[in-house]
């Protein structure tokens, strides 16, 4: 994360703030229900927004059958996410259009670092017992250390959901703070709340606040492995927590929805949410990422349609 945004130093745990959290579920549902249809971006502006979405992607592979070859192919796509002939027709052939990062398991970090050498594209690694976070704490911390040693510059950590479900905010704060201290200055830290495992939107807001107080640089919705991953409802609650934290502390926290976002239409809805709730600054990759893989294919197809007036077959835009 080559970021001009100062890092979040965190704050002491403020339990009064956390316990005072309140979410109006019906208001959240009304707000998000109208967002995809009401906020449409057309013509030239849509192409610009789609290109911006590409630059905010954490291009991800987190599968049990990941191989060095698969990671290298993904990294090739990360370096050139949009076909050169399309970039030329869009008038941006001289712009450096790459994804925001490539996200892999710790064991594949070295492969990705090697494949991305010289590009400036950071490698992100999941860690801390991803996706369930049920391994012993020393082992989870060791995963962060190993990923950083292998060359990861961003770490996506998972929390112990039990701390949230039982309201043990002090333990959650201490856990995340240890993760942040382990990342140090070597890596930015994204904290995955796994919102699909949490019981209420209020818990999502409370966990968001605690994660930011503990020093998270980003808060992230999901691992992509839960039954329910990123939704506009939990995203609205999380970005409003980011806004509240910024208003109280002056520290800007990034946001990453992940899991289930596979169409350009969905990406535009999340971009609209960021613009309306947090402002244009949160449309840039140092404060906004989308965790996805298949999304890139649809973004490229929509850009092709903008250029030519018809859709290309998916096999004309391979992932790598």
The domain locations on the chain are 15-316
Angstrom distances, CA of residue 302 to CA of 185, 265, 314: 38, 9, 11
Angstrom distance (rounded) from CA 278 to CA 253: 10
Indicate if the pLDDT at residue 233 is higher than 70. yes
Query: Within 10 Å of residue 313's Cβ, how many Cβ atoms?
Result: 8
Give pLDDT, residue 119: 97
Indicate if the pLDDT at residue 75 is higher than 90. yes
Give pLDDT, residue 39: 54
Residue 156 is among the residues annotated as catalytic for this protein: yes
The residue annotated as part of the active site, out of 77, 177, 220, 252, is: 220
Q: Which two tokens stand for residue 304?
A: 């092709």
DSSP 188-246: EEEEE--GGGSS-HHHHHHHHHHHHHTT-SEEE---S-SSS---HHHHHHHHHHHHHHH
Give pLDDT, residue 312: 79
The residue annotated as part of the active site, out of 110, 177, 252, 256, is: 256
Given a contact cutoff of 8 angstroms between Cβ atoms, the answer to whether 22 and 202 are in contact is yes
Q: What is the CATH number of domain 15-316?
A: 3.20.20.70
Q: pLDDT tens across 149-175, in order?
A: 999 999 999 999 999 999 999 999 999
Residue 170 is among the residues annotated as catalytic for this protein: no
The residue annotated as part of the active site, out of 58, 77, 111, 156, is: 156
Give pLDDT, residue 44: 73
Given a contact cutoff of 8 angstroms between Cβ atoms, the answer to whether 266 and 32 are in contact is no
Give pLDDT, residue 222: 98
Angstrom distance (rounded) from CA 84 to CA 59: 19
Give pLDDT, residue 245: 98
Q: Whole-prediction pTM value?
A: 0.96
Q: What is the mean pLDDT of residues 293-303?
A: 95
DSSP 133-150: T-S-HHHHHHHHHHHHHH
Given a contact cutoff of 8 angstroms between Cβ atoms, the answer to whether 269 and 46 are in contact is no
Q: Which residues contact 146 (CB under 8 A, 6 or more apart)?
A: 106
Q: What is the mean pLDDT of residues 124-128?
A: 98
Given a contact cutoff of 8 angstroms between Cβ atoms, the answer to whether 290 and 253 are in contact is no
Q: pLDDT tens across 43-70, in order?
A: 778 899 999 999 999 999 999 999 999 9
Residue 256 is among the residues annotated as catalytic for this protein: yes
Angstrom distance (rounded) from CA 219 to CA 159: 11
């Amino acid at each position: 994360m080559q970021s001009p945004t100062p890092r979040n130093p965190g704050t002491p745990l403020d339990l009064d703030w956390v316990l005072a959290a309140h979410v109006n579920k019906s208001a959240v549902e009304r707000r998000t229900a109208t967002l995809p249809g009401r906020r449409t971006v057309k013509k030239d502006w849509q192409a610009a927004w789609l290109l911006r979405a590409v630059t905010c992607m954490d291009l991800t592979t987190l599968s049990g059958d990941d191989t060095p070859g698969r990671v290298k192919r993904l990294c090739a796509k990360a370096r050139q996410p949009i076909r050169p002939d399309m970039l030329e027709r869009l008038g941006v052939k001289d712009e450096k259009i790459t994804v925001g990062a490539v996200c892999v398991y710790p064991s594949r970090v070295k492969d990705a670092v090697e494949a991305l050498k010289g590009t400036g594209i950071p490698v992100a690694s999941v860690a801390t017992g991803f996706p369930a976070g049920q391994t012993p704490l020393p082992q989870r911390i060791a995963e962060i250390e190993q990923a950083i040693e292998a060359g990861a510059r961003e770490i996506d950590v998972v929390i112990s959901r039990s701390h949230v479900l039982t309201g043990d905010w002090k333990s959650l704060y201490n856990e995340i703070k240890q993760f942040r201290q382990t990342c140090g200055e070597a890596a930015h830290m994204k904290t995955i709340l796994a919102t699909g495992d949490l019981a209420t939107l209020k818990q999502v807001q409370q966990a968001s606040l605690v994660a930011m107080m503990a020093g998270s640089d980003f808060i992230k919705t999901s691992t992509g492995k839960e039954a329910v991953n990123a939704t506009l409802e939990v995203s609205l609650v999380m970005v409003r927590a980011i806004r509240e934290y910024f208003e109280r502390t002056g520290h800007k926290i990034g946001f990453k929805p992940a899991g289930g976002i596979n169409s350009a239409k969905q990406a535009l809805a999340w971009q609209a949410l960021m613009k309306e709730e947090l402002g244009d600054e949160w449309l840039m990759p140092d404060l906004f990422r989308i965790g996805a893989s298949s999304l890139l294919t649809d973004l490229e197809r929509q850009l092709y349609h903008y250029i030519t007036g018809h859709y290309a077959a998916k096999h004309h835009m391979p992932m790598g």
